[in-house]
Amino acid sequence: MEIVRLGLLLLHLLGFSVLLGGLISQARQQNKQVTGLVRGGAGLAVVTGLALVGVIEANGGAVDTAKIGVKLGISVVILALAVRTSRRDKISTGLWIILLALSIGDVSVALFWSPAHGSY
C-alpha cells in the first residue's frame, strides 16, 4: 500500500509541476493561454489528491480535513477556470495571474499548514 501512496504522491506532484510550469513558461508571452497541459495538470492534481486521501484513510491514517478541504476548494476553482477557458485562443493577463496565484496558494497550503514531515 505504501508503494501505491508514493506512486500517487509522485503523480500528484507531477500534476502540480505541469500546472505551474505550464503557467510560468508563458510569463513573457503576449498571448497567454490555458493549454491542454495546464488543464490536465490541474485535473491530475485533483484526482490524485482525492485518491491519496482514500489510500491514506484505507491504511488507517488520518488526513487533516481542514487543510485538505482548503486545498480541494482552491483546486476546484483552478480546475473550473481552466476547463472553462481552455478552448479560448487567449486569456487575459489578469486571469493568468489569478491561476498562478491560486496554484502557488495551493502549494503553500500543502507545505506551510501542518507539513507532512513535521516542522524543522
> Angle formed by the axes of helices 2-24 and 93-112, to 10°?
150
Give the type of residue at 52. L
Q: What angle do CA 7, 82, 75 make, to 5 degrees?
A: 50
| Among 71, 85, 96, 100, contact with ligand HEM (rule: CB under 6 A) | 71
Measured at CB, which residue is nearest to ligand HEM?
49
Interface with ligand HEM by CB under 6 A: which range of 27-35, 65-73, 86-94? 65-73
C-alpha cell, 28: 513573457
**Least Å from the CB of residue 82 to ligand HEM:** 10
CB atoms near residue 62 (< 10 Å): 7
> Which residues of the shown chain bind ligand HEM in the complex (CB under 6 A)?
5, 9, 12, 16, 19, 45-46, 49-50, 52-53, 56, 63, 68, 71-72, 75, 103, 106-107, 110-111, 115-116
